[in-house]
Structure 1
Amino acid sequence: MEANADSTSPHHHPARAMRASDRDRDAVARILQAAAGEGRITLEELEERLDRTYSARTYAELEPITADLPGGRVAPPSAGITPRRGAEAAQADTPLVIRAKAGTIARRGNWYVPRRVEVSNPYGQIRLDFRHATLLGDVIEIDLHAPWGQAKIILPEEATAQTEIDTSWLGSLDSEVPQVPAPPAPHFRISGNVKGGSVKVRYRRRVDDWTAWADWG
């Protein structure tokens, strides 16, 4: 019993001590309601667990409520988001500035991403893959300057992106990513200017859209 109590302690892992959101509590409530509908828990248990759900403050307090039920659990943010301390905190606050002209800018793999990224490449190609990046914030601002060029941005699964880009003078924006933030998933705010150019924002999916990744320098 002592080992079990230890495993649910909010101090067992730093991320589990994070505050849960209303969205997290609602997700747990849906799991409980589905379980009651399938006869896995009684109505009395449902009521008791819902009380615990809406009084829970951290992920560690939410986890045991659905630990014996199918349907998964509400997990603390971990994919791509790293706690910020010391040098990393300074790095998170320092914008990453990447500039070129008429060439190719590419970032992929495990690279550090501060809270603000400024990318400029008129008449060129911009390729940013955030799937395996270490994000130093849960909200990432991207300022994109690519007039008469092309930009493709791949986001981690379940990330969201708000786009406010000037696409006048024959420019285009093609985003298939939800705009409304959905914590604890990372959220991106993408702004800038691609007059006469194009921007695509996606999750990794269609091979025909991304076959050139291996060739980008």
Structure 2
Amino acid sequence: MTDDLELRASDADRDRAAAVLGGALATGRLTSAEYAERLDSVYVAKTLGELVPLTRDLPADDTADGGLRLAGQNHVAARFSKVIRSGRWVAGRHTRLTARFGALIVNLTDAVLPGREITLEIDAFCGKLIVIVPEGAHVVDEGGALFAKRAIYGRGDPADADGPLIRIVGDARFAKVAVHRGRFDPAAPWQHWMQQEAAAR
């Protein structure tokens, strides 16, 4: 058994542990803060032995498919409003960002990311969307634009980027979408955007 615990953990092993945590959150066995802390540890675990203490006090039968959904998908939306998602929160492996006639700011620098790669699906229509990613993140923008502006700031040298891969898909129509690497002042996000645009000129 000791030898087994020293084996390297696979992505499937981590996903199973994340599903147990998600089920525990859904049934009230874990608080959102406890869930975020343990999920963060799950996705940096290198061996099976590091995963065991994270789920040892939780029943596996709470999992169902709710835990997989919690770790797998997320949706943040701003419709005719301004929404800021920042601080310590749990992002999904596939997170949908919707900005329709509104402003949406999503800060991933302190978020718990489920794995080394996540996908952000953009749906921006007549709105503004700012995404802040960790400084060392690789950002790949594969989305489309129609009468819209899409920009990535603070790219740096890709060779120096050792963070997660953040893949951006989806469309922006009559909208502005900006992705920035590094921290920002949540009290003045639009001023931050304008500074970055001015620096890029």
TM-score, with length taken from structure 2: 0.56
Match of 2:134 among 156, 180, 184: 156
> For 1:114 and 1:133, how far apart are their aligned partners in 2?
10
Q: What is the match of residue 172 of structure 1?
A: 149
Match of 1:83 among 42, 50, 54: 42
Letter in 1 for 2:150: L
Judged with a 3 Å threshold, the aligned counterparts in structure 2 of structure 1 residues 196 and 149 are, in CA distance, closer, same or farther, namely same
In the TM superposition, what is the alpha-carbon distance from 1:166 to its structure 2 partner?
1.9
> For 1:104 and 1:116, how far apart are their aligned partners in 2?
22
RMSD in angstroms over aligned alpha carbons? Answer: 3.4
Aligned identity (percent) is 19
In the TM superposition, what is the alpha-carbon distance from 1:99 to its structure 2 partner?
2.9
Judged with a 3 Å threshold, the aligned counterparts in structure 2 of structure 1 residues 196 and 179 are, in CA distance, closer, same or farther, namely farther
Match of 1:195 among 155, 173, 180: 173
Letter in 2 for 1:83: V
Alignment partner of 1:135: what SS?
Answer: coil
**Which consecutive residues of structure 1, in runs of 5 or more, have no partner in the other structure?**
1-9, 20-79
Residue deviations 1:8-39, cap 9 Å, x none?
A: xx95xx9xx579xxxxxxxxxxxxxxxxxxxx
The yes-or-no answer on 1:106 pairing with 2:109 is no
Match of 1:212 among 180, 183, 188: 188
The yes-or-no answer on 1:185 pairing with 2:144 is no
Judged with a 3 Å threshold, the aligned counterparts in structure 2 of structure 1 residues 198 and 99 are, in CA distance, closer, same or farther, namely same
Match of 1:130 among 83, 87, 108: 108
TM-score, with length taken from structure 1: 0.53
More strand by proportion, 1 or 2? 2
**Which consecutive residues of structure 2, in runs of 5 or more, have no partner in the other structure?**
11-38, 44-54, 191-201
In the TM superposition, what is the alpha-carbon distance from 1:98 to its structure 2 partner?
2.4
